[in-house]
Structure 1
Amino acid sequence: MTSHHTADQRLFQSTARDFLAETTPIPEVRRLGEAGLGFERDWWRRAADLGLTAMLVPERFGGGSISGRPVTELASVAEELGRACAPGPFVTVNAVLAGLAGAAAGFEDSIGAILAGESVASWAVYEPGHGFTPLTDARPRTRLERDGDGYRLTGVKDRVEAADQADLFLVTADSAEGPVQVLVPAGAVGVTVTPAWTLDLVRRTARISFTDVAVGEANIVHRGDAAAAAVRAQARIAAVLTAAELVGAVDRALEATLGWLFDRYTFGRPLASYQALKHRMADNKTWLEACRATAGAAAAACDRDPGAAAEAVSVAKSYVGAKGPVIAQDCVQLHGGIGVTWEHDLHLFLRRITLGRALYGTPEEHRRHVTDLLDRAA
C-alpha cells in the first residue's frame, strides 16, 4: 500500500471519528437508547454521505474504494463506531451491499438508495433456535416456494439488525432449486416485524415473520451456487466489521480505565503505581493489540483474496469475541464500585462488546468453522 493510500485511509478514518464525536457523543447514545431508537434516519443519510456505505459498491453504481482495499477501509470505520458506541445499521447494510454488489441487473435502484442512505436494508439470516448458519452450511428453514408465475416466502428470522427501521430485507432462504437470496420490502403483505430486547442500547435487533409473502422473479437476487457464494461473502463482511467494532469498543474502555488509574489516588498514590494493577493493564493491552492485529489481518485477507479469507475471518472473530469481554469486564472491576453504576459510561461499551461477541458467529462457532476448514484442507 502506498503512502498516498495510507494517508487517504487515515483521513477517511479521522473524518469518521470527527463526525461521530460531533453527532453521537455518549449523551446522544443514551438519549437514543432511552427513546427506544436505534438511530435517526437523517443522521444515517449524513453518515452515508461520508462514504460509510460506498466501499463495497462498484463504481458504476456510484460507490468505490479510496485505496483499493475496501474491507480494510470499512474496518477502520467500524473501529471508530465501536469507540463511539455509535448507533446505525453500518454492519448489516454493508453485509447486504456485499450481496447485492454481485447481483445480476435489476437492483441498481435499490443499491443506489441504500448507498445514499435513503433506504436501509438489513440481512435476515438468523433463525430461531439456530446459530449462524453460514458457518455450518445448514439449509435455512425459511422457504421460497413456486406459486403460479411467482413465489411465496414463508419462515421466521430473528436477530435481524435494525429491522424495525429497515425498508428492505435481504432474506437467505431455501427452495426446491437450492439456496436463494430474496430482496423483500419491509412493507410487503405478510411481513411482521417484532422488535426484540437487545443488551446494547442502540444496536437493536428484531424478529421477522414471513407469512406467504408474494415474491416476484425480479426480487430474487441470487440462486444456487451464486446464492451460497453471496452468503459466504456477506458472512465474511459482517464478521470482520463486527470484530473491528469490538476492537474499537475495547480500546475506548481500556483508554478510560488507564485514565482512571492515573487520576484515582489511594494512600497518597495513584492506582496506576501499584504493581499488580500494572500487570493487569499490561496483559489487557497485549490482548487488545493481538485483537487489533487479527482483525486487521482478516480485513486485509478479504481485500487480498476473499475466497481464501474464511480462516482469517474466523480466527479474528473468535479471538476478538473471546478476549474483548474479558478485557471489558476487567476494566469494570478496575474502576471499582463506580464501574458498575448506570451513570458511568463503561457499561455501554461492555454491552456493545457482549452483543458483538454473539452476533455473526460466536467464538465457539468460529472455532468449529476453523476446525472444519482445516479438516477439509487435510
Structure 2
Amino acid sequence: MTLDLTADQRLFQQTAREFLAGTVPVATVRALGEAGTGFDDQWWRSAAELGWTAMLVAESHGGGTISGRPMTELALVATELGRSCAPGPFVTTNAVLAGLGTAGAGQGETIAGIAAGTSIASWAVYEPGRGLDIVNALVDGAAPSDGEWTRAVRDGSGYRLTGVKDRVESGDRADILLVTAQSADGPVQLLVPTDAPGVTVTPTWTLDLVRRTARIDFADVAVPADAVVHTGPAAAAAVRAQLHTAAVLTAAETVGATAEAMDMTLGWLTDRFTFGRPLASYQALKHRMADNKTWLEACRATTGAAAAACDDDPAGAAEAVSVAKSYVGAKAPVIGQDCVQLHGGIGVTWEHDLHLYLRRIGLGRALYGTPEEHRRRITDLLVAA
C-alpha cells in the first residue's frame, strides 16, 4: 500500500496480480459463487507457494519476507485480491499465523502445514450478537459473566470448550480453528480440529459471493494440552496482533476493490456518450469523481500507514490500525455506491461486474470492526493515553 516500494516488492505485487488474472478471472469468481465452493484447494496451495502465507512465519517453519516488512507486503497481496474479487482464506489464515507466530516450537508442524496451504486454518473469535467489543474485552482483561462468551474450563492439563462462534471466515472449509475463548485464568487460544467430537460446523450466508463464513458450535469439546496455544497475557497479546493483521488486510482488500470499481466507472464515463458528449465531460460528474478519487487516495494512505505501523512498532500500532479500518470502512461504501449511480441502470444488473466489488466492499466494512467500533476503540486509546 505504500508509494515507495522496492523492486522486489513491485515484482511480488505484479506476480500476485498476474496469478489472479490467470487463475480467478471474474468469470471464475462467478462460477465459484454459483457452485457454493468458495475456492479450490489446489488453487490455494498454489497461492501459498507464492509466499502469501509465509510473511508472518519464521524461516525455520518455511516462512520469510521479501524485505523484512511482512504487513506491507501482505497488504500488497490483499489489494490485488480486492481488485480481482478473488476467493480464498487469505485474511483469516494470516490472522491465525499472526497468533501462532509467538506460540513457540510446539506448534511448528501446524504452522508449516498452514503456511504450505495443505491445511486450512481459520480464526474463530466472533460471538453471536456481539461485535468487536469481545476482542477489546479479551485484550483489556475484562471478566465476562458466566455463559456470556465461549468458555474453556480446565480439564487436567487441557480444557473443555463450550460455546458458539459465528462469522468464522472459511469456517466451512477449515481443517483447524484457532479459537479465542475465556477461562477462569483469563483469555485462552486453543487449536481445535473441525472434525473433533462435539464440533458442529454450519455454513452461513454472506454478501460476498466467494468469501463465506460459518457458525461453529462447541459442545464440551476436549482440547488436549498440546493444543493450548496461549493463556492469560500472552493470549491477550496474540489476540491484539491477530486483530491488527485481520483489520489491516481487510482494509487493504477493500481499497483494492474500491480502486477497481473506480477504474470501471472512469472507463464507463469516458466511453458513454449523451447529447453528443462523453459523460466524463460534464462538470458535475467530474466533481463527484474528484471527491471519490480524493477519498480513495486517503484510504490508500491510511491503510499503508497502518501496515507500516504494524511493521515498525506492532505494540503501538493500535491507533493507526483503527484509523485505517474506520476511514476505509466509512468512505469505501460511499465511493462504491456512487460508482453504481454513475453507471446508471446497467450498474444495478446482475450481469454487470460492479456489484461483485460492492459486495466485497460491504463485507470488508463489517468484518473485524465496523467504522463505529474502531472509532470507539480510538476514543478508548486516547482516553487511556
Question: Which band: TM-score by shorter chain?
Answer: over 0.9
Which residue of structure 2 aligns with residue 106 of structure 1? 106
| Residue 329 in structure 1 maps to residue 330 in structure 2 | no
Which residue of structure 1 aligns with residue 66 of structure 2? 66
Which residue of structure 1 aligns with residue 288 of structure 2? 280
Aligned-pair CA distance for 1:5: 6.8
Check 1:54–1:149 CA distance in 2 against 1; reply closer, same or farther (3 A cut).
closer
Segments of 5+ residues of structure 2 without an aligned counterpart are: none
The alignment covers a number of residue pairs equal to: 375
| Residue 319 in structure 1 maps to residue 319 in structure 2 | no
Counting only pairs closer than 5 Å after superposition, residues 198-213 of structure 1 correspond to structure 2 as 198-213=206-221
Which residue of structure 2 aligns with residue 244 of structure 1? 252
- Distance (Å, rounded) in 2 between the aligned partners of 1:110 and 1:149: 20
Runs (4 or more) in structure 1 with deviation over 6 Å come to none
- CA RMSD, aligned part only? 1.3
| Residue 257 in structure 1 maps to residue 265 in structure 2 | yes
| 3-state SS, counterpart of residue 249 of structure 2 | helix
Letter in 2 for 1:210: F
| 3-state SS, counterpart of residue 20 of structure 1 | helix
Q: Deviations over 1:40-76 (max 9, x none)?
A: 1000000000000000101111101110100000001
- Distance (Å, rounded) in 1 between the aligned partners of 2:33 and 2:299: 28
Aligned-pair CA distance for 1:149: 5.0
**1:38 and 1:88 in contact (8 A); partners too:** yes
Segments of 5+ residues of structure 1 without an aligned counterpart are: none
Calculate percent identity across the aligned residue pairs.
74
Aligned-pair CA distance for 1:135: 3.2
**Higher mean C-alpha deviation, range 262-271 or range 103-112:** 103-112
Letter in 2 for 1:204: R
Q: Deviations over 1:153-176 (max 9, x none)?
A: 001000000000000000000111
| Residue 216 in structure 1 maps to residue 224 in structure 2 | yes
Check 1:149–1:244 CA distance in 2 against 1; reply closer, same or farther (3 A cut).
closer
| Residue 189 in structure 1 maps to residue 197 in structure 2 | yes
Which residue of structure 1 aligns with residue 136 of structure 2? 135
- Distance (Å, rounded) in 1 between the aligned partners of 2:384 and 2:9: 36
- Distance (Å, rounded) in 1 between the aligned partners of 2:44 and 2:17: 15
- Distance (Å, rounded) in 2 between the aligned partners of 1:270 and 1:246: 29
- Distance (Å, rounded) in 2 between the aligned partners of 1:70 and 1:105: 20
| Residue 27 in structure 1 maps to residue 35 in structure 2 | no
Aligned-pair CA distance for 1:147: 2.6
Aligned-pair CA distance for 1:151: 2.1
Which residue of structure 2 aligns with residue 121 of structure 1? 121
Q: Deviations over 1:243-290 (max 9, x none)?
A: 000000000000000000000000110000000000000000000000
**1:5 and 1:66 in contact (8 A); partners too:** no
| 3-state SS, counterpart of residue 313 of structure 1 | helix
1:234 to 237, 242, 252: 242
Aligned-pair CA distance for 1:136: 4.2
**2:158 and 2:228 in contact (8 A); partners too:** no
Aligned-pair CA distance for 1:105: 2.4
Check 1:4–1:283 CA distance in 2 against 1; reply closer, same or farther (3 A cut).
closer
- Distance (Å, rounded) in 1 between the aligned partners of 2:51 and 2:335: 31
- Distance (Å, rounded) in 2 between the aligned partners of 1:300 and 1:5: 12
- Distance (Å, rounded) in 1 between the aligned partners of 2:313 and 2:154: 36
Which residue of structure 2 aligns with residue 87 of structure 1? 87
Q: Deviations over 1:76-127 (max 9, x none)?
A: 1100000000000000000000000100321111000000000000000000
- Distance (Å, rounded) in 2 between the aligned partners of 1:313 and 1:142: 26
Which residue of structure 2 aligns with residue 46 of structure 1? 46
Letter in 1 for 2:109: D
Aligned-pair CA distance for 1:148: 4.2
- Distance (Å, rounded) in 2 between the aligned partners of 1:4 and 1:195: 41
Aligned-pair CA distance for 1:38: 1.3
Letter in 2 for 1:338: I
**1:135 and 1:366 in contact (8 A); partners too:** no
1:165 to 173, 181, 202: 173
- Distance (Å, rounded) in 1 between the aligned partners of 2:82 and 2:4: 26
- Distance (Å, rounded) in 2 between the aligned partners of 1:163 and 1:61: 24
Give TM-score scaled by structure 1 length: 0.98
Aligned-pair CA distance for 1:324: 0.3
**1:63 and 1:115 in contact (8 A); partners too:** yes
| 3-state SS, counterpart of residue 163 of structure 1 | coil
Give TM-score scaled by structure 2 length: 0.96
Check 1:148–1:59 CA distance in 2 against 1; reply closer, same or farther (3 A cut).
closer
Letter in 2 for 1:359: L
Which residue of structure 2 aligns with residue 343 of structure 1? 351
| 3-state SS, counterpart of residue 180 of structure 1 | strand
| 3-state SS, counterpart of residue 168 of structure 2 | strand
